[in-house]
Amino acid sequence: MRTLRYLWIAAAASVGLGCSAAPPTEPDPAEPGNANYSVYVALGTSISAGWQSGGVVDRHQTRAFPALFARMVGANRFDQPLVSGDGLPPLSRIVQFGPPLIISNAGRTPGTPTNAALATAYHHLAVPFAILPDIADTSNYYNTTQGRALMFNLIQRHRGSLLAQVSTQINPAPTFVTFEFGSNELLGPATRGLGTPQIPAATWAVILHATLDGLQAALPGARFALFTVPDVTTIPLVTTLPPLVLGANGRPVTPPTPLLGPGNTPLVYGQDLILLTAGPLLAAGYGYPTGTTSYVSGTPVPGNGIGLADSLVLSAAEITSLKTAVNAYNAAITSEANARGAALVDLAGLLRTASTTGLSIQGTTYTSAFLTGGLFSLDGVHPNDLAHAVLCNALVDAVNNKFGSNVQHTSLSDAQTYRADRAAPSRFEGVAVPAENDAAAAMPAMFPWREGMWMP
């Protein structure tokens, strides 16, 4: 059984992340303007699919931004590849409040697809692990080295390419399509400590152009909304751990002492990033110089002077490379949206705001901070229900501005979560959890270990 554990020294935990909320309220009828939303299809990755905390499950799939948007625009129907029970793979949950805090899917049972016999293609065709070429090319759908086979079996169901399904297997034909691709080409390398995108930006732009040509040729009357690609170097998976030796209180020691990276080279605060996957080794004293002490497991462990492997660290050069690729991908997306008269949804900008000033929602500031920020699920990568509602409203704003529609916002109150520092159990009373988003300088020490964690 795959598990995900977080060992923490002095922090509160979020009880709202990855949890369902009250049913959303019914919207008033929308005026479509120059768009027709009656048959809506969502193409995308795990973000659009509603993946949270390590898997997909109906209670989050129905709260993913495409499902919310379908309701707000009054789409005729929105068929989804729903999964019951604990999800596929089973979702992680908070098992024990620390210390140590344990987040795990141990003991959970894989859920069951509830709509697999649908005779047509789904309208919700976002597939975790998908990359841009997968829209038209089926050759890598069932790659068993990742979770691709599981997800394509669930969503694509051996019914031909995603392009073929959208263009020939939905009746009546789609009139509106959201298109969210590019994150996995960057996230995959980042989670392995690499800075080279899976598909070079120039090649990706060519594929994007050809793919959109194919979609528009197949659906000549449809309108489109394109999403920019988020900066994967600003998600909690890569921003939570400071590259510094921390004391028993979870704060950097004085004077600041760098942890060791590849080749036992000292890491540089403000430049290098450590992945959350480094947690088990940090707990065992790896990355800590000799003469220092690791308190990650709650028990003092002497530093062994052996640096962290390159697969657990993003260097300054690798971060720069990934950011350059993000910018290039987004330049291509923006250009295509402008040329094709598509709405443009700035997902990248939303994450940028969350990771800097934070998003103010009904008097509470939500950020991209791991667990305490209130916008990410327990895997540190994917948006939670509240963030999906924010994404839905960003999509609504984009189509209203582009097509003259008057679609209403979805209610954020229906999806709103508590910040961890406001929802902590009583055992954490008196423990200061800072609101600042500077993980290295302000966040208490949080270190995960994970066994086979899925990362679409």
**pLDDT at position 362, please?**
85
- Characterize the bridge pairing of strands 359-361 and 364-366: antiparallel
pLDDT tens digits, one per residue of 380-427: 899 999 999 999 999 999 999 999 999 999 999 888 765 443 433 333
**pLDDT at position 307, please?**
97
**pLDDT at position 424, please?**
37
Q: What is the CATH number of domain 3-238+317-451?
A: 3.40.50.1110
Q: Which stretch, 99-103, 250-254, 305-309, has highest mean pLDDT?
A: 305-309
**pLDDT at position 344, please?**
98
**pLDDT at position 430, please?**
32
H helices present in 219-371, as ranges: 236-239, 279-283, 316-340, 347-355
pLDDT tens digits, one per residue of 166-182: 999 999 999 999 999 99
Q: Say how far apart CA 131 and CA 198 lie, in whole Å.
A: 9
Place of tokens 């050809």: 210
Amino acid occupying residue 98: G
Contacts of 348 (CB under 8 A, 6+ apart): 228, 229, 230, 231, 326, 330
- Nearest one of 80, 145, 47, 96 to 377, comparing CA atoms: 47
pLDDT tens digits, one per residue of 96-134: 666 556 778 888 999 999 999 999 999 999 999 999 999
Instruction: Give, for 204, the enclosing helix (H) or strand (E).
Output: helix 201-218
**pLDDT at position 453, please?**
31
What are φ and ψ of residue 6, in 5° steps?
-125, 120
CB–CB of 256/244 below 8 Å? Answer: yes
pLDDT tens digits, one per residue of 126-160: 999 999 999 999 999 998 877 899 999 999 999 99
**pLDDT at position 101, please?**
61
The 8-class DSSP code of residue 426 comes to G
Q: Concatenated DSSP letters for 52-105?
A: BTTBB-HHHHTTSHHHHHHHHHT-S------B-TTTBTTPPEEEE-SSSPEEE-
* Sign of the CA dihedral running 144, 136, 65, 324: positive
Report the percentage of the chain scoring pLDDT > 70: 83
pLDDT at 9 over 50: no
Q: Say how far apart CA 27 and CA 403 lie, in whole Å.
A: 19
